[in-house]
């Protein structure tokens, strides 16, 4: 076994027992078993006993998951499967204790109980809890493992997407800079700095979010570089004064959309055109619209579809279905509409 495989085998994959979803899973599994038993043996349980048992199972589930939540840091010190065995044993011990405590409280408040002695009652409850908790922990283990694998794969894809700027853009930018050096060294120096800033942004840690203001500045630098290549063929219509520059966004979210607008709306056209960038807040959401001339080359080029798919994947990763990217074609314009929740950036 390699060192990496050994480390993976020792990796603790415990769910966050403090999450309400875990608590809900435990309560539901207990209630399902109770209801199934009542349906299979209706003559052995009346409505009073069913209600009392439901209350007891719910209370036991809450208390046991709360115990695991309380001990979560201690449980994380165990390696590999030991953490799961200790968690299971902790649940069983908690079931014995809380069932005994529940029995005493029910007697204290005068509730009528089934004809069974306290040790037998605790033993039955503990056996049922042991079986349910084993199934629940196995389910949570598989779910947690699947989530970690999915997260790792998604993070790897996002890393690749955010660090990706088309190679032809780099070559075209370098050619533009080389052409500018003898004509206008100052512009060539500015273009070199802009290109360096773009690639520096692309290589940053993708787990750290940026601001919309930073993204807009990156777009401005990108367009300055492209303006050196296209000249008067590329015109820009900025209408971004109403956008919140402090909005938290994934890095390099907007630049690929503007790059598509230039590549598919300006580059194929001999006369060029206008790329429009506008936006505003719509309630708790930020809406950004990128317009470009509609050309016949747009549907046939795969770059646009790939970039759109990449952006949508990143939106799903960062916003879990609360953001969207839509495409419209109307009145000779191709329109890209980006919508995501407004969350003010904070360094804390």
CB-CB contact of 194 with 224 (8 Å): yes
Q: How many CA atoms lie within 13 A of 87 on its CB side?
A: 31
* CATH class of segment(s) 163-341: alpha beta
For the beta carbon of residue 138, count every other beta carbon within 10 angstroms. 12
- For the chain, helix (H) and strand (E) counts, in that order, are 11, 7
The C-alpha atoms of residue 90 and residue 212 are separated, in whole angstroms, by: 48
Phi, psi of 116 (to 5 degrees): -150, 140
Domain regions of the chain by residue span: 3-161, 163-341
The residue ranking higher by pLDDT, 101 or 164, is: 101
The Cα–Cα gap between 254 and 339 comes to: 11
pLDDT at residue 6, as a whole number: 40
Dump pLDDT digits (tens) for 302-331: 555 667 877 887 788 788 789 999 999 887
For the chain, the average pLDDT equals: 77
Q: Which pLDDT score, from 0 to 100, does residue 117 have? A: 52
Kindly report, residue by residue over 86-111, the tens digit of the pLDDT.
888 887 887 777 777 777 776 776 66
A 10 A CB-CB count for 341 gives 14
Q: Quick one: pLDDT at residue 324? A: 92
pTM exceeds 0.75 for this model? no
Distance CA(50)–CA(52), nearest Å, equals 5
Confidence of residue 36 (pLDDT cuts 50, 70, 90): confident
For residues 231 and 211, give the distance between their C-alpha atoms in angstroms, rounded to a whole number: 29
286 membership: H or E segment, kind and range? strand 285-293
| CA distance linking residue 327 with residue 309, whole number of Å | 12
**Which range has the worst mean pLDDT, 29-38, 131-140, 147-156?**
147-156
pLDDT digits (tens, 9 = 90+) for 203-240: 666 556 789 999 999 899 889 888 888 889 999 999 99
């Amino acid at each position: 076994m390699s060192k990496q495989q050994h480390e993976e085998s020792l990796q603790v994959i415990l769910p966050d027992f403090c999450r309400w979803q875990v608590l809900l899973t435990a309560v539901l599994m207990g209630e399902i078993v109770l209801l199934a038993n009542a349906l299979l043996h209706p003559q052995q349980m009346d409505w009073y006993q069913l209600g009392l048992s439901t209350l007891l199972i719910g209370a036991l589930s809450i208390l046991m998951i709360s115990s695991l939540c309380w001990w979560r840091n201690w449980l994380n010190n165990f390696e590999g499967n030991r953490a799961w065995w200790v968690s299971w044993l902790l649940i069983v011990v908690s079931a014995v204790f809380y069932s005994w405590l529940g029995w005493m409280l029910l007697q204290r408040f005068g509730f009528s109980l089934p004809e069974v002695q306290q040790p037998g009652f605790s033993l039955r409850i503990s056996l049922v809890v042991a079986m349910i908790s084993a199934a629940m922990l196995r389910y949570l283990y598989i779910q947690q493992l699947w989530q970690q694998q999915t997260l790792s794969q998604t993070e790897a894809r996002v890393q690749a997407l955010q660090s990706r700027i088309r190679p032809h853009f780099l070559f075209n930018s370098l050619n533009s800079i080389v052409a500018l050096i003898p004509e206008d060294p100052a512009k060539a120096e500015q273009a070199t700095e802009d290109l360096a800033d773009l690639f520096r942004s692309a290589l940053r840690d993708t787990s750290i979010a940026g601001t919309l203001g930073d993204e807009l500045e990156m777009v401005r630098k990108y367009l300055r570089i492209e303006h050196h290549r296209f000249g008067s063929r590329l015109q820009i219509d900025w209408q971004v004064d109403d956008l919140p520059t402090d909005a938290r966004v994934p890095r390099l979210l907007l630049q690929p959309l503007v790059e598509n607008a230039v590549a598919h709306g300006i580059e194929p056209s001999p006369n060029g055109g206008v790329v429009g960038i506008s936006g505003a807040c719509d309630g708790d959401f930020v809406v950004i619209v990128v317009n470009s001339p509609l050309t016949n080359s747009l549907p046939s080029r795969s770059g646009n579809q790939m970039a759109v798919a990449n952006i949508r994947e990143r939106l799903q990763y960062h916003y879990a279905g609360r953001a969207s990217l839509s495409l419209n074609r109307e009145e000779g314009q191709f329109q890209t509409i980006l919508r995501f929740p407004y969350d003010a950036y904070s360094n804390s």
